[in-house]
């Protein structure tokens, strides 16, 4: 059976709803455990999760940080929207620290359109 990659998209501000961010990481981890290719996609305000000073102020930060660190340790793919990163002034070393890499949305959409990936909106 040919399985598509699951892309768990989240764009919510961590300060407003850390639970959605945490859920995206939880879903990607569960997919990896089931041997399903998965990715967490951070866009919009969600890229603020790369700023450790900001995350420290977020309710539920300890659980969120644990999920982020676990995903990085397990090499779960995490991509960030380059435009959002630029907008919020997130630095390259912050992106690397959460195990992420910039990836244009158009690249993800091509994979979706060609049947290699499916987009799952988490928040």
The total number of structural domains that make up the chain: 1
pTM of the model: 0.92
CA distance 119 to 43: 13
Model confidence at 1: pLDDT above 80? no
Mean pLDDT value of segment 76-103: 95
pLDDT of residue 23: 94
HEC readout, 6-73 = EEEEECCCCCCCHHHHHHHHHHHHHHHHCCCCEEEEECHHHHHHHCHHHHCCCCCHHHHHHHHHHHHH
pLDDT of residue 73: 86
**Which CATH number characterizes residue 37's domain?**
3.40.1260.10
pLDDT digits (tens, 9 = 90+) for 92-112: 999 999 999 999 999 999 999
pLDDT of residue 64: 86
Token pair 């660190």: residue: 69
Residue range of the domain that includes 86: 5-121
């Amino acid at each position: 059976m040919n399985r598509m990659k699951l892309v768990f998209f989240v764009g919510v501000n961590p300060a407003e709803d850390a639970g959605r961010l945490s859920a995206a990481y939880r879903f990607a981890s569960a997919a990896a455990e089931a041997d399903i290719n998965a990715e967490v996609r951070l866009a919009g305000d969600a890229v603020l999760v790369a700023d450790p000073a900001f995350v420290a102020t977020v309710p539920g930060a300890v659980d969120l940080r644990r999920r982020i660190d676990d995903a990085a340790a397990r090499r779960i793919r995490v991509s960030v929207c380059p435009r959002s990163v630029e907008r919020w002034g997130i630095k390259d070393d912050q992106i690397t620290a959460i195990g992420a890499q910039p990836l244009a949305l158009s690249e993800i959409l091509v994979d979706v359109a060609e049947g290699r990936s499916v987009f799952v909106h988490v928040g």
